[in-house]
Amino acid sequence: MPFVSANGIRLSYQRSGQGEPVLLVMGSGAAGRVWTMHQTPALNRAGYETIVFDNRGIAPSSTPPGDYSLADMTADTLGLIEALDVGPCRIVGTSMGAMIAQELALVRPDLVRCAVLMATKARSDATRRMLLAAERELRADGIALPPRYEAVRTVLEMLSPTTLNDDATVSGWLELFELTTGQSAPGQHAVDTVGDRREALRGLGVPCRAISFSDDLICPPHLVAEVADAIPDCDYVEIPGCGHLGNLENPDAVNTAIIEFLDKH
């Protein structure tokens, strides 16, 4: 993987396909290569060049100590776009990546042609605030849950009943999460503590599409809909039968929703 220096951070990235550029911004604790399972092949077939990268905290990109702010992560992404000279570009983000895309469109709309915001939010509600606080307490106390327990908890949080009730499919997910326990880039978790951004989003001036997943427990549809309501030029799509990892659970529907929007802008 090649690297660029952006905002004082060394970022690894990968480009594929030909056409106008689409930058994909991954969520917390996951590598940019997750996009290459389903999204980048579909976008390349649709005539777009894709750029994926590892956010700070995900090796081989820089992994500085301490908590990372949303401003840090946004500045990293801004620096990547400028270093590669691909702005204004289309942006697709999921979860934390969608929050980064929102902020980037606010602070540097000249670099963003349009944005797809999947599993996003402008605030945390009471349930999600309690969950974040509990997770921070675990980390502060140095408590590491057993890998098998962590895998079960992650599957229950991240996937839909459609997947959970399919023994063959969920067994593969459980094995994957058990093997990758502890690789969650703890510095990224602070990005979720940004307060209420709904009023700020009313000033976002680029076209957006907010995509929710019907069974998402991390960014449930009502929080995604708030983002769509706040951004002046933003439509809303809800994809059924998938949880927070909807881009992996139902990639065909997700890819269709992404490409349909990008083709319009």
Which residues does the annotation mark as catalytic? Answer: 95, 216, 244
* Nearest Cα residue to 202 out of 184, 168, 173, 228: 228
In this structure, what DSSP letter does residue 37 have?
A: G
Asked if 56 and 63 count as a contact pair (C-beta separation under 8 A), the reply is yes
Which letter does DSSP use for residue 190 in this model?
A: G
Residue 181: half-sphere exposure toward Cβ, Cα within 13 Å: 18
What proportions of the chain, in percent to the nearest 5, are helix, strand and coil?
50, 20, 35
Enter the tokens of residue 100. Answer: 């980064």
Provide the CA 261 distance to its chain's centre, in angstroms. Answer: 17
Whole-number Å distance between alpha carbons of 91 and 166: 33
For residues 33 and 52, the answer to whether their CB atoms sit within 8 Å is yes
Cβ count within 10 A of residue 250:
23
Residue 54: closest CA among 87, 85, 75, 80: 80
What phi and psi values does residue 259 have, to the nearest 5 degrees? -65, -40
Which residues make Cβ contacts (< 8 Å) with residue 180, sequence separation at least 6?
Answer: none
Say if residues 86 and 21 touch (Cβ distance below 8 Å): yes
